[in-house]
Structure 1
Amino acid sequence: MSDKPMRKGITTGTCAAAAAKAAVLAWQGQHVTTVEVVSPQGVALVAPVAESHVVADGGVAWVIKDAGDDPDITNGVKIVAAVRVADEPGIVIKAGEGVGTVTKPGLAVPVGEPAVNSGPRTMITKAVEDCLPPGKGAIVTISIPDGERLAARTLNPILGIAGGLSIIGTTGIVEPMSEEAFKNSLVPQISVVQALGYDEIVFAPGKIGQDIAINRYGLPAETVVQTSNFIGHMLENAVKYGMRRVLLFGHLGKIVKVSAGVFHTHNRMADARLETLAAYLAASGAPQAAIKEVLDSTTTEAAMPIIARYNMTAVYQVLAERASVRAMRYVFGDLTVGTVIVTLKGEILGLDQTAREIGGHLGWNVPIE
């Protein structure tokens, strides 16, 4: 394994600021190959400029995003700034093709504004003002030609950012993605739910569970958010954002871990799925042959027919109840939690009474028993 340090990159915000500055310089007759911009923390950053040219009343330039060794979806994309110089002071930032517009409250940018966060706004404004003549202003339109297609593979549609990607970056520099950074990228989903006026939220570990919750059982799409493997982290943030009740909604393979008190559910971190299933089956009176067959299974999905064959399907409700208890214990009782366990095809295996109450309040279409 190499111990070579991972290479840092530049954020979309740095790219946009650099392109905007290069566009103004092109308007002034200077066609540069690199520009220096300043991060919100006052750090000078140098970015290469791919192209710049003059247009009527201004200039256009673009920068190719270099994310370093970070697996960033925007790595290699073209970030374009078209600057129209105005006779009045002030910098106006607009969203062009492939840059999203905020459509839901709860984000750092108000509804109706381009999805350009405050750090990049500061960088773009300073970069343009630094090279404009006194008394002049500018309208800066940021575009990402492939942005709308790429945005479909991000959380933007869930967060209410329509039409493209976000221009983000608090420091101007991309640090290679850490687990902590990924965890924190999930949290804005909760703030959007809160801003829409909900104090109940549905946590689905993955896209399959999210789709089942919305499309099959009619839970409001705006309340259903993905946790990935970081269920504990998201529960803590649900408390932070004032949520009152949480509905855990997911596949047996994930939820059974929560039943065992595992709140980081990646299989390399903790994988006691079958052991937990076997323990609860044993506690429910399953014969030893059933326990052995479950432990010999490769997945929880493969264990389901075995559990059915031994008429032990009541264990799923026990596991749902236990997952809720462990989740509430994890946040010291600051949330009320209900749990639904589903198959990959979307059939409900088990759920507890609290799940029925939360789901019913949110208007799902699960029959009342």
Structure 2
Amino acid sequence: MSDRQMRKGITTGTCAAAAAKAAVLAWQGKTATKVEVISPQGTVLVAPVAESRAIAGGGIAWIIKDAGDDPDITNGVKITAEVTITDEPGVVIKAGSGVGTVTKPGLAVPVGEPAVNPGPRQMITRAVSECLPAGKGAIVTVSIPDGEKLAARTLNPILGISGGLSIIGTTGIVEPMSEEAFKNSLVPQISVVQALGYQDIVFAPGKIGQDIAINRYGLPAAAVVQTSNFIGHMLEHAVKYGMHRVLLFGHLGKIVKVSAGIFHTHNRMADARLETLAAYMAACGAPQAAVAEVLGSTTTEAAMPIIARYNLTGVYNLLAERASERAKRYVFGDLTVGTVIVTLQGDILGLDQTAREIGGHLGWNLDIESL
């Protein structure tokens, strides 16, 4: 196994700022092969310029995004800045092709504005301003070819960012394989739900659970967010945003981990799905043979027919109750939590009373009497 140090990269914000600066320099007749920009923390960052040239009234330049060793969706894309010089001081930032526009409240950028976060805005404004002659200003239009297509593979549509990608980066630097960065990219979903006036929120570990919650059971799409494997992280931030109740809605394979007090559900972090399932089955009176069969299974889906054969399906409601209790304990009682456990096909296996109450308040179309 290699112990090579992972290579850092630069954010889309750094690329946009560097492209904007190179475009101003091109307007001034200077061709830059690389430019320096300043991060919000005051760090000097250097970005190579792919191309720059003067155009009527300004300049245009682009940077090829280098994410280092991080598997960033924007790695290798072209980030372009077209700059128009004005006689009015100040820097105006606009979204060009492939850069999104904010359509929902609750994000760091107001509704109607280009999806260029505060850090990159600061970097672009500073990079352009330091090159402009006194009394001049600039309109900077940032574009990303294929940005709208790439955005479909991000959380932007869920967050209410339409038309393309976001220009992001709080430090200007991409830390390779940063789990923390991914976790933090999930959190704005909560702020959007809160800004839309919801006090109850639905946490689905994955896209399948999210689709089932919305399309099959009619839970409001605006209140359903993905947590990925970071259920504990998202619970903590639900508290920070003042949410009152959380409905955990997911597949047995994820929820059973929460029942065991596991709040980072990636299988490399902790995987006691079958052991937990077997333990709760035993608590429900399962014979030793049933416990052994479940422990010999490879997945929770494979365990379901065994549970049904031994008439132990009541274990699912118990697991839901336990998941809710463990989640509530995780945030020291600052949230009320209910849990729904579903199959991959969307059938409900189990739920607790709190889930019935939260789901009912959110207007789901579930026939409670049949469960």
> Is the structural similarity TM-score above 0.5?
yes
Q: Deviations over 1:240-283 (max 9, x none)?
A: 11011000000000101111111111111111111111111111
**Which residue of 1 is the match for residue 95 of structure 2?**
95
Cα distance in 2 for residues equivalent to 1:17 and 1:28: 17
**Which residue of 1 is the match for residue 263 of structure 2?**
263
Following TM superposition, by how much is the alpha carbon of 1:181 offset from its aligned partner in structure 2, in angstroms?
2.2
**Which residue of 2 is the match for residue 357 of structure 1?**
357
1:226 aligns with 2:205: no
Equivalent pairs, count? 369
Opposite residue 325 of structure 2, the aligned amino acid is V
Partner-residue secondary structure (3-state), 2:61: strand
Q: Quote the sequence identity (%).
A: 86
Cα distance in 1 for residues equivalent to 2:163 and 2:96: 10
Cα distance in 2 for residues equivalent to 1:89 and 1:270: 56
CA RMSD of aligned residues (A): 1.0
Cα distance in 2 for residues equivalent to 1:196 and 1:354: 23
**Which residue of 2 is the match for residue 335 of structure 1?**
335
Cα distance in 1 for residues equivalent to 2:354 and 2:9: 46
Q: Deviations over 1:318-360 (max 9, x none)?
A: 1111111111111111111000000001100011111011001
Opposite residue 106 of structure 1, the aligned amino acid is G
Following TM superposition, by how much is the alpha carbon of 1:162 offset from its aligned partner in structure 2, in angstroms?
0.8
Higher deviation after alignment, 30-39 or 292-301: 30-39
Cα distance in 2 for residues equivalent to 1:322 and 1:81: 53
Following TM superposition, by how much is the alpha carbon of 1:178 offset from its aligned partner in structure 2, in angstroms?
2.2
**Which residue of 2 is the match for residue 150 of structure 1?**
150
**Which residue of 2 is the match for residue 48 of structure 1?**
48
**Which residue of 2 is the match for residue 253 of structure 1?**
253
Q: What TM-score does the superposition give when structure 2 sets the normalisation length?
A: 0.98
Higher deviation after alignment, 171-180 or 211-220: 171-180
Q: Deviations over 1:171-210 (max 9, x none)?
A: 1111113222222221111111111111110011111111
Higher deviation after alignment, 298-307 or 176-185: 176-185
**Which residue of 1 is the match for residue 60 of structure 2?**
60
Partner-residue secondary structure (3-state), 2:368: coil
Opposite residue 203 of structure 2, the aligned amino acid is F
Opposite residue 326 of structure 1, the aligned amino acid is R
Opposite residue 179 of structure 1, the aligned amino acid is E
**Which residue of 2 is the match for residue 169 of structure 1?**
169
Following TM superposition, by how much is the alpha carbon of 1:96 offset from its aligned partner in structure 2, in angstroms?
0.3
Partner-residue secondary structure (3-state), 2:93: strand
Opposite residue 89 of structure 1, the aligned amino acid is P
After superposition, residues 297-336 of structure 1 pair within 5 angstroms as 297-336=297-336
1:115 aligns with 2:115: yes
Higher deviation after alignment, 285-294 or 147-156: 285-294
Gaps in structure 2 of 5+ consecutive residues: none
**Which residue of 2 is the match for residue 126 of structure 1?**
126
Following TM superposition, by how much is the alpha carbon of 1:298 offset from its aligned partner in structure 2, in angstroms?
0.6
Cα distance in 2 for residues equivalent to 1:205 and 1:236: 15
Cα distance in 2 for residues equivalent to 1:85 and 1:229: 47
Opposite residue 361 of structure 1, the aligned amino acid is H
Opposite residue 250 of structure 2, the aligned amino acid is G
Partner-residue secondary structure (3-state), 1:262: coil
Q: What TM-score does the superposition give when structure 1 sets the normalisation length?
A: 0.98
**Which residue of 2 is the match for residue 15 of structure 1?**
15
Q: Deviations over 1:198-230 (max 9, x none)?
A: 111001111111111111111111111111111
Opposite residue 220 of structure 1, the aligned amino acid is P
Gaps in structure 1 of 5+ consecutive residues: none
**Which residue of 2 is the match for residue 37 of structure 1?**
37
1:235 aligns with 2:232: no
Cα distance in 1 for residues equivalent to 2:279 and 2:122: 56
**Which residue of 1 is the match for residue 200 of structure 2?**
200
Cα distance in 1 for residues equivalent to 2:17 and 2:244: 41
Once superposed, which parts of structure 1, at least 4 consecutive aligned residues long, lie more than 3 Å away?
none
Opposite residue 358 of structure 2, the aligned amino acid is I
Cα distance in 2 for residues equivalent to 1:32 and 1:156: 33
Opposite residue 83 of structure 2, the aligned amino acid is V
Opposite residue 140 of structure 1, the aligned amino acid is V
**Which residue of 2 is the match for residue 182 of structure 1?**
182
